[in-house]
Structure 1
Amino acid sequence: MLCRLFVAYSVCHQGRSQFIISRGAITIGPITDLLGRKGALRVSSAFCVAGWLAIYFSKEAWSLDIGRLANGYGMGAFSYVVPVFIAEIAPKNLRGRLTAINQLMICCGVSVSFIIGAKKGRHKEFEVALQKLRGKDADVSHEAAEIQDYIETLDRLPKAKLLDLFQRRYSRSVIIGVGLMVCQQFGGINGVCFYVSDIFDQAGFSSSIGTITYAILQVVVTGIGAAVMDKAGRKPLILVSASGVVLGCLLTAVSFFLKVHELALTATPILAVTGILVYIGSFSIGMGAVPWVVMSEIFPINIKGQAGSLATLVNWFGAWLCSYTFNYLMSWSSYGTFILYAAINALAILFVILMVPETKGRTLEQIQGAINK
């Protein structure tokens, strides 16, 4: 029961988690250069251990926040340094396979967490924990009854299997959840994030100035996105975000096109840095966090574990595929790469318009009604 409470808390703070994870991914680069790969792994591990200890011994909401901040930073750092370390130590003929195994283990871990988190029955401990989180003077009886009703409803439903996700009644929810993960990852974000310094160098712009500006902008915009998500709504935010990503890709593509054909060479660096900053700013305000939030809201409760695992698997596979193919695409055509990403993100806009319902402020029943109408 306590696990369910923490899951509910986690869903409400998904945007903040994505914000902190992105900070870890950005700042671990200089740490890696300073301490080395193993040193950076130790730093990442320390943050994760500290975060889980804070969560495990939590007695107040603020300690859960601290735990999630530490875990988010540690996992963001891991997301950068682990693939780098694997790529550097692996034989070239096994590099792709070993990187894929890393993604597979991440997916296995997520699946195991769903299985473990299904344990329940500790009602007294649950009520004590809820009272501590809400404050000793808060009346938690109504909230506790709602959570208890949720668990009892879930118990009465048939246990879902992976193949159940392909039943017609679940198809639209699964398509939305998985489709949003495809839109998020196949639009180029991991390639741009991991190789942003190289992009600036190839465009003729200072990589140090560009990277610093990039990092600062991402911090500010992601924070804004997390703050306005519950006010602006999921769907408008992701549509604005995806539109900005398309614009950023096109600006960057024009920059590389001009450079390749030696046209307006003085304008190409400015166009490139503008395009990349528009891209990352737009992605950070919506596409980074909103798909995770929507995914947590659209699945019926009896398939949420299985469907969540599938969507997460697709997300990590997309992350790996994007980062793995980015250099090959840039070697093929620098401007063609960003035109391809622009096209994918344009399709993402169409997908969101046609398929994704607004979930802000709606109950599970209302969301399911909107999906299945």
Structure 2
Amino acid sequence: MGNGGGDGEAREPLVQKKLAEKEEQLWMGYLSTFVAVCGSFAFGSCAGYSSPAQAAIREDLSLSLAEFSLFGSLLTFGAMIGAIMCGPIADLVGRKGAMRVSSAFCVVGWLAIFFAKGPVALDIGRLATGYGMGAFSYVVPIFIAEIAPKTFRGALTTLNQILICTGVSVAFIIGTVLTWRVLALTGIIPCAISFIGLFCIPESPRWLAKMGRHTEFEAALKSLRGKNADISHEAAEIQEYIETLERLPKAKMLDLFQRRYQRSVLIGFGLMVVQQFGGINGICFYASSIFEQAGFPATTGTIIYAVLQVVITALNAPIVDRAGRKPLLLVSLTGVVIGCLLIAVSFYLKVHGMAPDAVPILAVVGILGYIGSFSAGLGAMPWVVMSEIFPINIKGVAGGMATLVNWFGAWAVSYTFNFLMSWNSFGTFIIYAAINVLGIVFVITIVPETKGKTLEQIQAAVNG
């Protein structure tokens, strides 16, 4: 009995030592993820800019509502261009090269906005930041999924969404005290950190293997897994999978319609449609005006909104690889539907002059419930699943097209939101609720669970 206790005491420091060694080995993976998600923060800065800056830009540059709506929606139009071009760029010059291009476009765009004296320069800047944002939205989750160990892949990929939310929230909060020109300059900071940091981290091992750069592939994998890690099994699995793909012809756009890829394309594209057409960018871009229309202080509402989405998304990250992708999507979509219905009821009561005291309360609870629920799964999971679901030979084409679908949805919602609200404020949110109900049906019937599987196992199961 005594020896058993001694063994237990001896075993505990040994376990702690092994855990410490494992953490030490993975430090390059964590650093690489940090550098990549600086691009996600830059993305969030772009998305969060228009809401706090709207009133000041319209006043300083004498913009009409239509001109500002064009400015707001050009971000998502630029993101569509970035999404189309980033897949081939990431395949040609690597994931790091694509992130450098994205950073450069964002910096140029922010400077154009800062120096703008009229709508033309403002719109050009917005288009350029949109391009960088769209490219980041594709390449960051792909890069993280390709460098992460399978046991941490969901959590690390979710950091992409956490930093997007953080970027949006920081822009919302500091936008209440900074001028719109200074706020534009703050968007350059994460781009600069990302650009410099990319010189300190390895390229994606899977991309290096695909390009036939075997020495660099092994060095990058060794760097990411730790100098004492045994990478032989993982390296052999990656090489074997890529050699199988090498025997297939180079992917073209029409290849996405082949029977063997139909399910992965349907899942990847379908989740992007569900995420965007449920109304997120209408609420995100015009949160301040929604709070004002509902009779709630815009600054207070925006700050609560900003803090809530970061907290919920951050709390969600540790459970992605335990709870699974599918349950989180279903819980998230259910909450989003309830949030939409509460906002719809609020505007219905306002339009018909009923229960005036309840209108702002229902609107705030609905908006915060919507954004909290969205952040709990629907924000991150489509990107996590997209980064996992496509075989590497079509990942550039399919990932770029899925991101394009996402940004087309973002553009459509952000451009039409103000017009829909003018048409019928409560009807707008009923439409969004109905789309999210269809999303629940889609996830239940089509989307597989991918937690705890290697990328190769997932793709074999879905496309096999």
Q: Tell me the TM-score normalized by structure 1.
A: 0.78
Report the AA paired with residue 149 of structure 1. Answer: E
Say whether 1:131 aligns with 2:274: no
Instruction: Give the aligned partner of residue 9 of structure 1.
Output: 147
The 10-residue stretch of structure 1 (294-303 or 207-216) with the greater mean CA deviation from structure 2: 294-303
Say whether 1:45 aligns with 2:188: yes
Residue deviations 1:339-368, cap 9 Å, x none?
111011011111111111111223456545
CA distance in 1, matches of 2:187, 2:219: 32
Which of 297, 308, 311 pairs up with 1:206?
A: 297
Aligned residues of 2:147 and 2:224 also touching (Cα < 8 A) = no
Aligned residues of 1:165 and 1:171 also touching (Cα < 8 A) = yes
CA distance in 1, matches of 2:286, 2:327: 29
Report the AA paired with residue 327 of structure 2. Answer: P
Instruction: Give the aligned partner of residue 50 of structure 2.
Output: none
Q: CA deviation at 1:276?
A: 0.6
Aligned residues of 1:32 and 1:39 also touching (Cα < 8 A) = no
Q: CA deviation at 1:35?
A: 5.2
Q: CA deviation at 1:315?
A: 0.4
Q: Which runs of 5+ in 2 are unaligned?
A: 1-90, 96-141
Q: CA deviation at 1:332?
A: 0.7
CA distance in 1, matches of 2:309, 2:249: 43
SS in structure 1 of the partner of residue 256 of structure 2: helix
SS in structure 1 of the partner of residue 230 of structure 2: coil
Larger Rg: 2
Report the AA paired with residue 166 of structure 1. Answer: F
Instruction: Give the aligned partner of residue 81 of structure 2.
Output: none
Q: CA deviation at 1:310?
A: 0.9
Instruction: Give the aligned partner of residue 362 of structure 1.
Output: 453
Cα pair distance change 1:5/1:23, threshold 3 Å: closer
Q: CA deviation at 1:36?
A: 4.4
CA distance in 2, matches of 1:364, 1:132: 20
Instruction: Give the aligned partner of residue 24 of structure 2.
Output: none
CA distance in 1, matches of 2:398, 2:298: 40
Q: CA deviation at 1:131?
A: 2.4
Instruction: Give the aligned partner of residue 105 of structure 1.
Output: none
Q: CA deviation at 1:58?
A: 2.6
SS in structure 1 of the partner of residue 187 of structure 2: helix
Percent of paired sites with the same residue: 62
Residue deviations 1:249-273, cap 9 Å, x none?
0011001111111111111111110
Q: CA deviation at 1:132?
A: 2.6
Instruction: Give the aligned partner of residue 169 of structure 2.
Output: 26
Say whether 1:186 aligns with 2:324: no
SS in structure 2 of the partner of residue 303 of structure 1: helix
Cα pair distance change 1:39/1:155, threshold 3 Å: farther
Q: Tell me the TM-score normalized by structure 2.
A: 0.63
CA distance in 2, matches of 1:124, 1:35: 49
Report the AA paired with residue 243 of structure 2. Answer: E
Say whether 1:297 aligns with 2:388: yes
Aligned residues of 1:185 and 1:315 also touching (Cα < 8 A) = yes
The 10-residue stretch of structure 1 (167-176 or 344-353) with the greater mean CA deviation from structure 2: 167-176
SS in structure 2 of the partner of residue 222 of structure 1: helix
CA distance in 1, matches of 2:364, 2:389: 37
CA distance in 1, matches of 2:408, 2:218: 39
CA distance in 1, matches of 2:171, 2:374: 20
Instruction: Give the aligned partner of residue 310 of structure 2.
Output: 219
CA distance in 2, matches of 1:49, 1:153: 39
Instruction: Give the aligned partner of residue 418 of structure 2.
Output: 327
CA distance in 1, matches of 2:144, 2:445: 33
Cα pair distance change 1:26/1:118, threshold 3 Å: farther
Aligned residues of 2:208 and 2:217 also touching (Cα < 8 A) = no
Which of 149, 173, 177 pairs up with 2:240?
A: 149
SS in structure 2 of the partner of residue 263 of structure 1: coil
Cα pair distance change 1:310/1:121, threshold 3 Å: same
Report the AA paired with residue 272 of structure 2. Answer: M
Which of 341, 354, 357 pairs up with 1:266?
A: 357
Which of 241, 260, 264 pairs up with 1:173?
A: 264
Cα pair distance change 1:147/1:165, threshold 3 Å: same
Say how many residue pairs are matched: 319
